[in-house]
Amino acid sequence: MFGEAFVKRVDAEFYLKNGDSGDADIGEGTIQSPTALLSGYSHSLSKLHILLQQTSQSTHQGRPETVKVHTYSSILERVCALVHLECGCEVRNKLPPVAALELRSVDLQSPRNNKEHHTQEMGLKRLIVRRGQSFVLQLHFNRSFHFGKDYLTFVAETGPAPMELLGTRATFSLTQARKGNVWSASDFTTDTNSLLVSFFTPASAVIGPYTLKIEISQGQGHSVAHPVGTFILLFNPWNAEDEVYLPSEILLQEYIMMDYGFVYKGHERFITAWPWNYGQFEEDIIDICFEILDKSLYFLENPSKDYSQRNDPVYVCRVVSAMINSNDDSGVLQGNWGEDYSRGVSPLEWNGSVAILRQWSARGKQPVKFGQCWVFAAVMCTVMRCLGVPTRVVSNFRSAHNMDGNLTIDTYFDQNAEMLPIQKRDKIWNFHVWNECWMIRKDLPPGYNGWQVLDPTPQQTSNGLFCCGPASVKAVREGEVHLPYDTPFVYAEVNADEVIWLFRNGQAQEILVHNTSSIGKEISTKMVGSDQRQNITGSYKYPEGSPEERSVFMKASRKMLSPRRASSPFLDLLGSRGSQDQPAQLQLHLAKTPEWGHDLMLKLHARRVPDRVHPRGPIRLVVRFSAQALLHQGDTREPLWRQTVHLDLDFGEEIQWPLLLPYENYRNKLTDEKLIRVSGIAKVEDTGRSLLVLKDISLEPPHLSIEVPKRAEVGKALRVHITLINTLTVALSNCMMVLEGSGLIDGQIYNNIGTLVAGHTIQIQLDLYPIKTGPRQLQVLISSNEIKEIKGYKDIFVAASRAS
């Protein structure tokens, strides 16, 4: 009889698995009444439900009991039908009803997931993951989950009005295996009343904060929704399917994970490494980054459309480039290239991005005062690294600001060697700083992936907003200036020609210099894995004077210039490599290292060379010198020093003439940048022709030294020794010290150290308590009324606490 065999088999299986055969039995050969048979069936059916649950779990955990699941299931259906025939009643109605599945709690597994997604530095309290990579959640229910009986559907949403059509809403059901690069929940395992589920987001998903909910149903019944939690989704440069994929762990550690670095400032011959705290992993910075996106004009105009485009790194980079400056919107920084910073903070007094971003967020998204190019670029680097786009800061020395696109920058001097403050938009900045972001450019022809220039400094508009880029570095090098975005402007920054004119009687009368190689010098970024500077000029242009450089220049000129200017004579002028035939060569050299607060010693080196007018004879020169304070944007102040020298040069003769620029001449007359331009115009008495000689000088501030013990541990006092010697001949008044360093200090430490007398030394000791392990950098800035930028840094490796 099938019924007796069924009961015995179920009892035996149950005993093997659980050690208890139960108290229901049907004696062999005994004729049972329908009531007794029904009772035996009911007990066995209950056991069968348990066996089904146990074998289902074993199957999902990888044990080969799939056959038993199907066997028990088929037996269950047959027995229910048999009992209905033999007993005349429905056994299902006698069994205890299965409770509806309810979600009781969720474990987002943040520590595990964040570590696997390289976001653990942002904290472990909330879930922060990268797109195109799986993460796991553990769901706890009121009872065991039955796959095939219980149906789970997940909904992930981001943005103000999520829609699947816009890619801001995704609906997906629990499956046994993931299929393709789509939103999915799969590869689950069960344990008692919990379910461990692997979630996957496509590598093209919209980045941003998401909410996740679950809809639970049994069969075709009504579904009940439960909130699961929230998570933040970022770009994933570790994933080959992501458009920001960077196939080098060493580069990823530098351009994503490194939270400090250097910005290079000064002059091409006096390059200064300026330490900067990017701080992209400070816990609130990621929220501020998305606040920046949510304050853009694109978002305010059409929030849903803006969110739908946040899967595209090209789009996101352009938005951030516009939002770092405040020219069009509620951007982060207000620029100031003047000399009055009384209503804010001098750009020279910032140590890092964290304080700037926090101030912007805390003060109602009002622009922070003030920034200049290196501050704009450093803050953008923080935002882009936080969002998951490999980013670095790049400095271009003698950077052209060519607004009319004619590839020439005109500068004017009078006969007294004074650089004239003629109002013009085209200038040569001493240096300019921008960003490079790494990405695939699907919007360009093949061959232009990789580093892309983005410039948040408000120089000119692009599609109506003050932003710049992304412009492919490869396109700049090859002169493909027709490719978006803003490639002609970037090309001119590193390739324009410089034409210096002698200005007399109200007009430019004589070309003193036509220099084809003075723009775009020493293009620099931090070297990977080192504190050293890397010269990357070769990635922007071919070697100056090479056939390739000439060919690319001519190609770019024809594309950028109007038909009249693109004529052959004009291009010949632009591409000219020749120099005027002059009877002498003049150079200015520094006799010793220029220090602020000391007299400056220079030497004029003059050498007589043959020319067409005076092939061999002697010449007489009258050289008029002028010194002016040089501003960052290339402008100058009124002359602070003048001197005239008379030279007689025989053929082949070389002489060196000493020049003294006293400290009292430039004291209180320089800008915060402490730059001086010394100019000389020599007039040949016999012919009236003029020669120009230039020297830009960057004055070195006093040296700051920082000493720490060799071993640093998390949570353990780290004694820091800071020493400053005032090598100046004047006192430094109102000295303020600011310390900053992600992982070392929470925020900033301020210390008012008063006045430092000339020639005296100040020593400061204080204890820090490191917060995070790994390589860290302590940045120290001491500013005073006299000098705004006495900076130093110390690299520190922090070990885990021995007690832990």
d(CA 269, CA 229): 55
Is-contact 275 706, C-beta < 8 A? no
Residue 242 lies in a domain: no
Residues 691 and 711 in one domain: no
Residues 756 and 646 in one domain: no
CATH number at residue 737: 2.60.40.10
Question: What are the CA-CA distances from residue 370 to residues 332, 344, 636, 640, 779 (Å)?
Answer: 10, 6, 21, 27, 20
Whether 432 is a known active-site residue: answer: yes
d(CA 522, CA 504): 34
Give how many domains the chain has, as a whole number: 5
Dihedral of CA 299/305/309/310: which sign? positive
pLDDT of 160: 96
Running along the chain, 804 residues long, what does each successive block of 10 average in pLDDT? 55 54 41 47 56 48 42 52 50 61 97 98 97 98 93 98 98 93 95 96 99 92 93 99 98 99 94 97 97 97 98 99 94 93 95 98 97 98 99 98 87 95 82 98 98 96 89 98 97 95 88 94 98 98 94 93 55 49 91 92 94 79 96 92 96 94 94 93 90 94 94 97 93 96 96 95 96 97 92 97 75
Residues 218 and 254 in one domain: no
Is-contact 390 246, C-beta < 8 A? yes
Q: What residues form DSSP beta bridges with 472?
A: 452
Residue 244 lies in a domain: no
d(CA 205, CA 132): 8
Give the CB-side neighbour count of residue 442, counting CA atoms within 13 A: 10
Residue 709 structural domain: 704-799
Residue 167 lies in a domain: yes
**Torsion of the alpha carbons at 495, 496, 497 and 503, rounded to the nearest 10:** -150
Q: Which of 521, 556, 575 is the last residue of a domain?
A: 575
How is the beta sheet containing 135-141 ordered, strand by strand? 103-107, 135-141, 194-200, 184-191
Listed in sequence order, the residues at least 6 apart from 708 whose beta carbon sits closer than 8 Å to its beta carbon are: 718, 719, 720, 721, 778, 794, 796
Residue 241 lies in a domain: no
Q: Which of 669, 698, 727 is the last residue of a domain?
A: 698
Residue 710 lies in a domain: yes
- Rg for the chain (alpha carbons), in Å? 37
SS3 575: helix
Residues 325 and 472 in one domain: yes
Is-contact 210 156, C-beta < 8 A? yes
> Of these residues, 373, 386, 468, 735, which one is catalytic?
373
Is-contact 726 758, C-beta < 8 A? yes
Residues 348 and 423 in one domain: yes
> Of these residues, 11, 242, 455, 497, which one is catalytic?
455
Whether 455 is a known active-site residue: answer: yes
Measured between its terminal Cα atoms, the distance across the chain in Å is 67
Residue 788 lies in a domain: yes
Residues 207 and 316 in one domain: no
> Of these residues, 118, 432, 614, 632, which one is catalytic?
432
State the helix-helix crossing angle for 66-87 and 34-60, rounded to 10 degrees: 160
Type and span of the H or E element at 18:
helix 2-18
Residues 37 and 75 in one domain: yes
pLDDT of 42: 55
Q: Which of 202, 234, 266 is the last residue of a domain?
A: 234
Residue 599 lies in a domain: yes
CATH number at residue 533: 3.90.260.10
Is-contact 777 277, C-beta < 8 A? yes
SS3 sequence, 176-243? Answer: CCCCCCCCEEEEEEEECCEEEEEEECCCCCCCEEEEEEEEEEECCCCCEEEEEEEEEEECCCCCCCCC
Residues 177 and 224 in one domain: yes
Residues 419 and 433 in one domain: yes
pLDDT of 488: 96
DSSP tag of 270: E
Among 133, 208, 222, smallest CA distance to 169 is for 208
Residue 143 lies in a domain: yes
pLDDT of 328: 87
Residues 490 and 636 in one domain: no
Q: What string of DSSP letters covers 518-547?
A: SSSEEEEEEPTTSSSEEE-HHHHSPPTTSH
Tokens in use for 676? 């001086």
Residues 399 and 523 in one domain: yes
SS3 sequence, 345-386? Answer: CCHHHCCECHHHHHHHHHCCCCCEEEECHHHHHHHHHHHHHH
Residues 738 and 760 in one domain: yes
